A and B are shown apart, each in its own frame.
Chain A
Amino acid sequence: MEIGLNHYLILSTILFAIGLVGIMRRKNLLLLFFATEILLNAVNIGFAAISHYYGDLTGQMFAFFVIAIAASELAVGLGLLIVWYKRHGTIDLDTMTSMRG
Chain B
Amino acid sequence: MKQSLHSATLSNGIILVGERLPDLESVAVAFHSPAGSIHDPVGTCGLATVAGEMCLRGAGVRDSRQLVEDLESAGVQWSQGVSSTHASFSGAMVARHLPDVLPIYADILRRPLLPEDELPAARQMVLQNLAGIEDDPAHRAIAALRRIHCPAPWGMPTEGISADVESISIDDVRGFVGHHLQPGGMIVSVAGRIDWDDFVRRVDDLLGDWPAVSSAAVGVGPRGPFIHHVPHDSQQTHIALAWSVPPYRDDASHEATAALAILGGGPSSRFFTEIRERRGLCYSVSAGYQTSRDFANAVCYSGTSAERAQETLDVMLAEIGRLPGTISPDELGRVKARAKSGLTMQQESSAARAGAIARQWYHLGRLRTLAQELERYDRLDVAGVEGWLADQPPRDLTVVSLGRDPLEVRCAIPA
Interaction A to B: no
Interface residue ranges, B against A (CB under 8 Å): none
